[in-house]
A and B are shown apart, each in its own frame.
Chain A
Amino acid sequence: MILSLMDHYQERLNGVFQALADPTRRAVIGRLGHGPASISDLAKPFAMALPSFMKHIHFLEESGLIRTSKQGRVRTCTLEKKTFAAVENWLDSQRALWEGRTDRLEHFVLSELDRKDRK
């Protein structure tokens, strides 16, 4: 039980780091650091179509870094402070980093093997 909770936590943390690996998403988080904002306001500084921008918003929402709520026709985004608190734990962030490296190493080795098998 404890283990699966830890796994879940780890997964979530990895999602957070992935969410932050993108400059647009980092900029959105940075803006939301000053307070909640509507999606149209958030999208203004970016030269991208709204559907592309919405993909970033969905990514951030799924990672648990932000939440959104709709009032009338305006959807507002807010930072999810609980998630940030979890990432603030220093050793956990290091662990997430090593987990990520190990994931990528595993993926790399397996895809190399796969490539050789097909030759």
Chain B
Amino acid sequence: MNRPLNPDLDLSVSRLIKAPRQAVWRAWTDPRCFEQWWLPAPAKCKVVAMELEPGGSFVTQMSEDGEPFGPHVTGCFLAVDDQERIVFTDALTGGWRPADHSFLTAVITFKDHPQGTDYTAYAMHRNQADRKRHEELGFHDGWGTVTEQLAKLVERA
């Protein structure tokens, strides 16, 4: 599938990971592994659901500063191609049910590379209105709010 990058809404992060594709795939798809890298320490991640099939539920929670776990990602897998591709969105929840809020669709690809694995995360975000809403959520309300928002931004998908 060809996805022209919309410079205002999309981003792509690629990395050559010097490890076999199978190992990178496992780090993504084994919940106990995934929990160890999805969020930056000291925040903690808990995988509540990772049903690796189209329509499967994808739910993670996070805990910061010893607080109880709260929502992080609540979404749905759109495609899971073994050791090749994972697509998820938060526009739907498990079983294709429409979500209240939607923000992004992410396409993660894994390709063999002579030195390891060619890993790419491609994220598409909804629209300018979301951006505006995001900005209205505090970015322009003075520094106190800005800093709170920034702290939250550290991990918000």
Where the two chains meet, the residues of A that have a C-beta atom closer than 8 Å to any C-beta of B are 16-18, 20-23, 26, 29-30, 32-34, 79, 84, 87-88, 90-91, 93-95, 97-102, 104-110, 112-113
Contacts and interface: CB of A to CB of B under 8 A. Distances in A.
Contacts, number: 105
Given A100-B40, A105-B17, A88 B139 contact: yes
Interface stretch (B76-84, B87-95, B143-151): B143-151
The secondary-structure label for the interface of chain B is mixed
- Contact-size category for B: 35 or more
Interface of B: 8-9, 11, 13, 15, 17-19, 23-24, 27-28, 33, 36-38, 40-43, 65, 119, 121, 123, 125, 131, 134-135, 139, 142-144, 146-148, 150-151, 153-157
A88 B150 CA distance: 8
B47 to A, nearest CB: 14
Contact of A26 (B28, B38, B121, B147): B147
A110 B142 CA distance: 42
8 contacts: A21-B43, A29-B147, A30-B144, A88-B139, A97-B154, A97-B155, A98-B11, A105-B28
